[in-house]
Amino acid sequence: MTEKKDFLEKQKALFREWTKQIDELKLKAKKAQVDASVKFDNYIDDLRAKYEEAVSKLEKTENVGERRWEELKAAVDVAWDELKQAIEKAKTMFR
């Protein structure tokens, strides 16, 4: 083979290898996006559950006596604080 032919063969082999590597990276990126999307969806579901729990506790405070109301008020405060922290965490995680 000539020097030119050797050079071209080597370059073609390199291009084939790089194409293979790029395709593998593209697949990994797609998988990462899917994984991130699933993780985000799961986190949002958890946020929704915390929200529903807080709302439920709040609704229970409407028709209770004064003593029971103080207990439920504390539970609502805790639930809202947990929800607020979870939302703030989500904001930083998914920027």
pLDDT at 1: 63
Residue 69: what pLDDT? 75
- The pLDDT tens digits of the residues spanning 54-78 come to 888 778 777 777 778 777 778 888 8
Cα angle 80, 86, 92 (rounded to 5 degrees) comes to: 140
Indicate if the pLDDT at residue 50 is higher than 80. yes
Q: How far apart are CA 88 and CA 51, in angstroms?
A: 14
pLDDT above 80 for 27: yes
Percent of the chain with pLDDT over 90: 0
The Cα–Cα gap between 20 and 13 comes to 11
| pLDDT at residue number 86 | 84
Separation of alpha carbons 78 and 20, rounded Å: 53
Coil vs helix vs strand at 88: helix
